[in-house]
Structure 1
Amino acid sequence: MIQVINRALDLLELIANDPEYPKSLGELADELSLNHGTCANILKTLVTRGYVEQIGTKKGYILGAKSYGLTGNEAYQKDLLEAAREPMNVLTQSVNENCLLAILKDNQRVVIHRTFAEQDLQVRTADVKPIYDSASGRLLLAMLPNEKIQRFVSKYGLPVGDSWPEILSEDQLYEALSLISQEKLALQTIPNRHVIGLAVPVYKHGLVVSSLSIYLPEYRYMAIDKRKLVLSLRKCADEINNKLV
């Protein structure tokens, strides 16, 4: 076996085990018992080829576009990612909160890109979550045509458990989705985690193709200018929209 190929694949598999968490060079090298210099050289090649992405100089490494492409994941839209990357970095630097870009796939919300803040306490949310169980999922569902929303509800039913506890009937669900659609904004409170999620739509040729979200601890949300936060989120989405024209 060719050792360097094995090491490169080991690195990819280790990064993919927890894709929402950027792993530092030291973490990766120590976990695989690799020399740090050797690990850095392999990572440099993987970054250059697009299979791994480096988040800043100190935050670590996550999977890159090529890795998602190998899986045949249609959710990974190259033009969308290219359009979103810079505006999302600017947004995160501006509000100092984690941001994510997500799309719909079946009955789930799938994250396709993240940016990470410098806060000591950061909100982490799974790459894949049930649609009802996230601000981004609710926003994307609400922005679908009515007939698609009805088909979704007919196929997957109402929210269950704690996924959207305020919704107890179809009428309440349709009313809530209608309000999100009108405001082009979804806001989710997660009481048991004391987390707030906000999401706005991203358009391409007049159609909603993804959601742009911010998730942050409730105590920080209560202490900031909420209107300014939403305006910043919408401004970022508009910048992405303009690049997708």
Structure 2
Amino acid sequence: MKAKKEKHGVHSVERALAILEALGTNPKGLGVTRLAKELDLHKSTVHRLLATLVRYGFAEQDENSECYRLGMRLVALGLNYLHQLDFRCEVLPYLKELAELTGETTQMGVLEGDEVFFLERYQSPEAITVNLGLKAPAYCSAEGKLLLAYLPPERLREYLQRQELKPFTLNTLSNPEQLLLHLEKIRAQGYALSAEELADGLRGVAAPVFDAQGRVVAAIGVAGPVNRLTLERIHRLVNILRETCYIVSLRLGYRPARRRESDTPVPRPNLSLQNGG
């Protein structure tokens, strides 16, 4: 990709944006020489622009490979963008439908730092429900584990290096190797389960929401007490949950090249998924 030189543009800004675009398509990072070649720029120019991007957190350099990649400042801006979107209008009707179908609380979460932040939630219509906060540790909630499973490997490695896996219950995955194996399973099956890992008596299941670039940007989940949200019920509602996530993804611009057979829409069942159904 060549750096564009617009007649009425600011060259330094255009070149910096071209660098960010190049880094965005190379998650393992790029060196100065390769960036200069791809963008048809002098190495000194690329180095100077990268230094500025690093200083403001839009890029970062790996100490071992000396390659550059996108910085966490872009994550913060992306989260701000997500917060500005009218998620209530877009997502809440689907969360409401899920809650009415399952009889449990439904929610949509995104990663914010090392935690999962719940942008929107529809409370269970049941008289007895569960107490859920606005945030939760990513490694012991269904939505958080789902989002961790789809992180680029280097991001996940950084997370595990800085995150203390505090055990909240006897079921919490507090061993990094055990958690990594669990995250691999989540990515392979396309959904995540949380079985009393954050709090005793609480279960949950979550599936991914994709953006226009095919990246996982959020997770939609169902949570409830173990006496109602049994494992049998969870496995029966997984397909419907994934179908909801697929529809929301389409509204966010997601356009898959070819949909997998496992993603085929399932008809809304006559059989209720509420407790006892």
**TM-score, with normalisation over the residues of structure 1?**
0.64
Aligned to 1:115: 122
Aligned to 2:152: 145
What's the offset of the Cα at 1:155?
Answer: 2.2
Aligned to 2:99: 92
What's the offset of the Cα at 1:166?
Answer: 5.0
**Contact 1:139–1:185 (8 Å) recurs in 2:** yes
Gaps of 5+ in 2: 1-78, 254-277
What's the offset of the Cα at 1:242?
Answer: 1.5
Tell me: higher relative CO, structure 1 or 2? Use CA pairs within 8 A at least 6 residues apart. Answer: 1
Q: Following the alignment from structure 1 to structure 2, what is the Cα–Cα distance between the partners of residues 167 and 96?
A: 28
The 1:242/1:105 distance shift into structure 2, 3 A limit, reads same
Q: Quick check: 1:219 aligned with 2:227?
A: yes
Aligned to 1:187: 193
The letter for the 1-side match of 2:173 is I
The letter for the 1-side match of 2:136 is K
**Contact 2:107–2:118 (8 Å) recurs in 1:** yes
Aligned to 1:237: 245
**Contact 1:140–1:210 (8 Å) recurs in 2:** yes
Q: Following the alignment from structure 1 to structure 2, what is the Cα–Cα distance between the partners of residues 96 and 89?
A: 10
The letter for the 2-side match of 1:187 is L
User: Which whole-Å deviations, capped at 9, do the CAs of 1:72-93 have from their partners, x for residues lacking one?
Assistant: 9555151544331222221112
SS in 2 for 1:236: helix
Q: Following the alignment from structure 1 to structure 2, what is the Cα–Cα distance between the partners of residues 193 and 160?
A: 15
Aligned to 1:82: 89
Task: Output aligned runs, 1:8-157, within 5 Å.
Answer: 75-78=82-85, 80-157=87-164
The 1:183/1:218 distance shift into structure 2, 3 A limit, reads same
SS in 2 for 1:122: coil
What's the offset of the Cα at 1:188?
Answer: 0.9
Counting matched residue pairs gives 173
The letter for the 2-side match of 1:120 is A
What's the offset of the Cα at 1:228?
Answer: 2.4
The 1:108/1:224 distance shift into structure 2, 3 A limit, reads same
| RMSD, aligned α-carbons | 2.3
Aligned to 1:50: none
Gaps of 5+ in 1: 1-71
User: Which whole-Å deviations, capped at 9, do the CAs of 1:122-179 have from their partners, x for residues lacking one?
Assistant: 122110111123111111111111111011112224x112268453533212111111
Higher share in helix: 1
**Contact 2:169–2:196 (8 Å) recurs in 1:** no
Q: Structure 1 residue aligned with 2:211, among 195, 204, 209?
A: 204
SS in 2 for 1:219: coil
SS in 2 for 1:178: helix
SS in 2 for 1:172: helix
**TM-score, with normalisation over the residues of structure 2?**
0.57
**Contact 1:101–1:111 (8 Å) recurs in 2:** yes
Structure 1 or 2, whichever has the larger Rg, is 2
Identity of aligned residues (%): 23
